[in-house]
């Protein structure tokens, strides 16, 4: 047998032993460093890998009317989410979900793309799951990696005030709108956010604060147990009491029937809006669950424009109520003696002009003073007297009553309307395409280029009812502090003269608003308007106020294309006053705060 001598000497042995010793020491040192010195750090990392943080939600705050009747509450539903990085086969698993939920695969893919916000964040792909659908998903859990269902609260709108114009609605957040939202609220794509109306205006108050719960998972991301030690509870949003009286709102809406228009009722002393009807409206059912695209398109294309809140976004010529602007301007500036009589024979031809302007009463009103001119809404009287002022002063008077600016109502998307001035007319018609005297003839009747919102008209009549002093700002939040518009400094004589005319509109023989007259002791003041409309029949207006239980209340009625204000709008106003009088305990006194 051959033998090979071992040529390794003692040096090699020692070198090998030294290398081995150093290696073992290095491993032990590293082990000591990781297990002892860096224990907390790596323990935390291991916890992160084995523990999943999950957002929890509380109910959104309720919306209630002034008497505590619930108008908007929450109802539980289930949503389905998927965490993208856990998807093994996206199309195959989405097909299974489509079969279970009967949601078209195309819709699921659209939602996934729309609400995707990262590989490691859950994406909502289906809503309103039934118990049967949840059971089927559980049965096929091994085929559906990364899918989770959880309870989620959506809004339920009670029949007492099923009105999108006031309440607004919630909308799912997509990636495009996410960047515009308050980052401190930690919104995520697929969640709901107040998008219109009170839901939007008071989003911060109504919205819950999110919580966090921690779930222990295995290496496949499957839930093992829930860890309660460090969980943060979610807190519900605050309830919102609004100034609307649900019974009065329902009654007011019934008076318009199928007519397009607006009814507004407010407490002049507090600014509280008791009724705010914009008709037609539309059912809030369209915002429950999945919105049907066909229904959306039908709503948007509806010729009656139900989606517009006419109270704050509808722009109309105000008609004869603006005759009061002329009266305020002339009396206060000493340009008119209210006792003087002018002859109305049914028409007026301005000096130096061949054009004739008609009065609504063809055979005329005969001798007319200011009181009779307001009571019977004589056009000729105001055609003649408006010539005593100028455009600059007239528009200034209109603006001090709040026209051409927001009312500051606590609703989004309010329009400011238009009070045309010299600059407007030059820009619109050119320097020589208009005359100041000619434009004043239109303006004094609230016609021409004037546009106002019904809510601005409510503010206008409130200023008059309070004689310009401490007119409360209009509001819908019952617990919002009372604030006031700027005072309007006019003499008591000026206010009294106009008040006398407004009283006779309703209460005198021949008054244009006699159909609103009350059989009780209620003294109703008002002004009718028949506003010519280039797009159809005239708009019918009634603006008025009355006192009940030592509080003043105001009413604005507008019927689009309704015809005469005295014939159409006045009876509606009278019925509302009667309703408030009969139900004054509930409407006026019973206030929940």
Q: For the segment 398-411, what is each residue's pLDDT rounded down to a tens digit?
A: 999 999 999 999 99
Report the phi/psi class of residue 133: left, alpha or beta, with left for phi > 0 and alpha for psi in -120 to 50. Answer: alpha
Which of 563, 582, 513 has the alpha carbon at shortest distance from 542? 513
3-class secondary-structure state, position 496: helix
Q: Which residue has the higher pLDDT, 565 or 185?
A: 565
Q: What is the pLDDT of residue 91?
A: 85
- The mean per-residue pLDDT over the stretch 192-218 comes to 84
What whole-number distance in Å separates Cα of residue 267 and Cα of residue 253?
A: 18
Q: What is the pLDDT of residue 2?
A: 54
CA separation for the pair 210, 189 (Å, rounded) = 14
pLDDT tens-place string over residues 282-341: 877 666 655 556 777 887 888 888 889 999 999 999 999 999 999 999 999 999 999 999
What DSSP element (H or E) covers 17? helix 10-32
Helix (H) or strand (E) holding 134: helix 131-139
Lowest mean pLDDT among 86-95, 178-187, 271-280, 369-378: 178-187
Structure tokens at 195: 């998008």
Give SS3 for 192: strand
Pick the CATH number of 246-291+307-589 from 1.10.110.30, 3.40.710.10, 3.40.50.1860, 3.40.50.300: 3.40.710.10
Q: What are phi and psi of 124, to 5 degrees?
A: -75, 125
Distance CA(562)–CA(565), nearest Å, equals 8
- The string of DSSP codes covering 533-578 is ETTEEEEEEEEEEEEETTEEEEEEEEETT---IIIIIHHHHHHHHH
Strands (E), 376-524: none
The model's confidence at residue 571, banded by pLDDT at 50, 70 and 90, is: very high
Average pLDDT, the chain: 87
For domain 53-241, the CATH class is: alpha beta
Is residue 592 scored above 70 in pLDDT? no
pLDDT band (50, 70, 90) for residue 173: confident
Token output for 573: 């106003």
Q: Where are the domains of the chain?
A: 53-241, 246-291+307-589
In the structure encoding, which two tokens stand for residue 327, read together?
A: 């009266």
Percent of the chain with pLDDT over 70: 90
**pLDDT band of 135, cuts 50, 70, 90:** confident
Instruction: Name the residue among 146, 102, 142 with its Cα closest to residue 126.
Output: 102
The per-residue pLDDT for 6 is 55
Q: Provide the whole-model pTM.
A: 0.84
């Amino acid at each position: 047998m051959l033998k090979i001598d071992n040529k390794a000497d003692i040096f090699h042995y020692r070198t090998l032993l030294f290398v081995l010793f150093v290696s073992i020491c290095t491993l032990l040192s590293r082990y000591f460093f990781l297990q002892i010195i860096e224990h907390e750090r790596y323990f935390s990392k291991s916890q992160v890998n084995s523990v999943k943080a999950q957002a929890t939600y509380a109910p959104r705050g309720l919306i209630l009317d002034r008497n505590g009747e619930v108008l908007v509450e929450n109802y539980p539903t289930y949503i389905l989410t998927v965490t993208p990085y856990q998807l093994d086969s996206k199309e195959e698993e989405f097909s299974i979900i489509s079969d279970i939920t009967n949601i078209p695969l195309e819709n699921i893919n659209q939602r996934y793309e729309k609400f995707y916000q990262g590989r490691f964040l859950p994406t909502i792909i289906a809503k309103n799951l039934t118990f049967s659908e949840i059971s089927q998903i559980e049965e096929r859990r091994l085929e559906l990696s990364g899918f989770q269902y959880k309870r989620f609260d959506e809004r339920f709108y009670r029949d007492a005030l099923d009105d999108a114009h006031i309440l607004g609605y919630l909308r799912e957040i997509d990636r495009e709108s996410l960047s515009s939202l308050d980052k401190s609220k930690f919104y995520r794509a697929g969640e709901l956010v107040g998008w219109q109306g009170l839901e939007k205006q008071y989003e911060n108050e109504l919205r819950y604060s999110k919580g966090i719960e921690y779930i222990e998972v295995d290496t496949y991301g499957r839930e093992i147990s829930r860890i309660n030690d460090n969980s943060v509870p979610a807190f519900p949003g605050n309830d919102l009491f609004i100034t609307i009286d649900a019974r009065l709102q329902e009654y007011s809406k019934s008076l318009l029937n199928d007519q397009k228009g607006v009814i507004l009722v407010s407490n002049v002393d507090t600014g509280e809006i008791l009724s705010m009807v914009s008709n037609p409206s539309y059912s809030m059912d369209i915002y429950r669950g999945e919105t049907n695209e066909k229904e959306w398109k039908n709503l948007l294309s509806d010729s009656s424009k139900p989606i517009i809140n006419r109270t704050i976004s509808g722009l109309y010529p105000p008609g004869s109520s603006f005759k009061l602007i002329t009266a305020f301007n002339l009396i206060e500036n000493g340009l008119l003696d209210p006792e003087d009589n002018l002859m109305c024979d049914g028409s007026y031809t301005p000096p130096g002009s061949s054009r004739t302007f008609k009065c609504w009463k063809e055979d005329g009103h005969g001798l007319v003073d200011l009181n009779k001119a307001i009571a019977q809404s004589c056009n000729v009287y105001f055609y003649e007297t408006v010539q005593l002022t100028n455009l600059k002063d007239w528009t200034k008077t209109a603006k001090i009553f709040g026209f051409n600016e927001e009312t500051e109502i606590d609703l989004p998307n309010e329009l400011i309307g238009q009070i045309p001035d010299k600059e407007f007319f030059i820009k619109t018609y050119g320097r020589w395409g208009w005359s100041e005297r000619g434009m004043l003839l239109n303006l004094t009747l609230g016609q021409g280029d004037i546009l106002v919102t019904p809510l601005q008209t409510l503010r206008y009549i409130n200023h008059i009812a309070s004689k310009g002093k401490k007119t409360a700002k209009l509001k819908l939040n019952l617990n919002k502090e009372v604030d006031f518009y700027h005072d309007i400094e006019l003499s008591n004589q000026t206010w009294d003269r106009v008040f006398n005319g407004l009283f006779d509109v309703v209460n005198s023989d021949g008054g244009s608003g006699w159909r609103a007259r009350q059989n009780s002791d209620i003294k109703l003041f008002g002004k009718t308007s028949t506003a010519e409309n280039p797009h159809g029949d005239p708009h019918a207006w009634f603006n008025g106020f009355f006192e009940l239980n030592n509080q003043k209340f105001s009413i604005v009625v507008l019927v689009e294309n309704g015809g005469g204000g005295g014939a159409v709008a006045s009876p509606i106003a009278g019925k509302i006053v009667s309703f408030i009088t009969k139900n004054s305990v509930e409407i006026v006194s019973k206030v929940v705060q």
